[in-house]
Amino acid sequence: MNFFRHIASNLVKGPVPGDAAGGGGGGEPDSLPDAELVSRCQKGDYSAFDALVTKHRGRVFAMIQNMVKNEADSWDLAQEVFVKVWKALPKFEARARFSTWMYRITHNVVYDWMRKRKIESVGDLDDNLLDREVIAAGAQAAPAQAARPDEALSQGELRATIEGALQRLSPEHREAILLREVQGLEYKEIADVMDCSIGTVMSRLFYARKKLQSLLTKS
């Protein structure tokens, strides 16, 4: 099966967009730092972008997966993230780390998807629902989504419990927890990703932690 995937993967690969020569030399793309890969991408080197994707797709997919809890949607959204990254790379000025910038795009894609999904399911999204000022610290801001039985069996009770608790946080609280505790971003980076002030990040983390602790203690 892996062999088939490898063959299929190579068959669909054509000339790299924007650079028939495959970019300038100077080392294997996989081993280069992000800044160098980004620089090559900005010159149209698709192989450098392919290396960036390979390097970061796991983090992007995990982040999305933990936000939307649907593997197929996460796969599609991760694709959308990298398409947007490729298109926006020429404008990337490296004021922030590439990974932080990529998380920012991921944040936008996920929130756009949630808004669209909300509109499709119940009508217009009330942005007040996402306003931290109207979310009580003890409020149940997101519908509980139980893990599938096969997931619970394979991942263990602890994981199911923690995932269940995370899903009961509001999207903003959940994202703040994931970016800080799982992805290890600094407060400033979280603020950049979520497009808010550091004070807001602190507040979200404060209430998200209390809520998570409360949920896990109960369960």
- Does 6 bind other proteins (CB under 8 A)? Our answer is yes
Count CA within 13 A, CB hemisphere, residue 118. Answer: 16
What minimum distance in Å lies between the beta carbon of 171 and other proteins? 16
Nearer to other proteins, 141 or 215 (CB): 215
Contact 84, 101 (CB under 8 A): no
- Please, which residue, 117 or 210, has the CB nearer to other proteins? 210
**Among residues 86, 115, 130, 152, which is the contact residue for other proteins, using CB under 8 A?**
86
166 forms part of the interface with other proteins (CB under 8 A): yes
Q: Do 54 and 30 form a contact (C-beta atoms < 8 A)?
A: yes
SS3 assignment, position 95: coil
CB atoms within 10 A of CB 186: 14
The conformational region for residue 32 under phi > 0 = left, psi -120 to 50 = alpha, else beta, is: beta
Least distance (Å) between residue 62 CB and other proteins: 4
The candidate with the shortest Cα–Cα distance to 95, out of 187, 192, 195, is: 192
Near other proteins by CB under 8 A: residue from 34, 163, 172, 175: 163
Closest CA to 98 of 34, 41, 37: 34
- Footprint of other proteins (CB under 8 A): 5-6, 8-10, 12-14, 16-18, 46, 50, 53-54, 57-59, 61-62, 65-66, 71, 74-75, 78-79, 82-83, 86-87, 155-156, 158-159, 162-163, 166, 177-178, 181-184, 199, 202-203, 205-207, 209, 212-213, 216-217
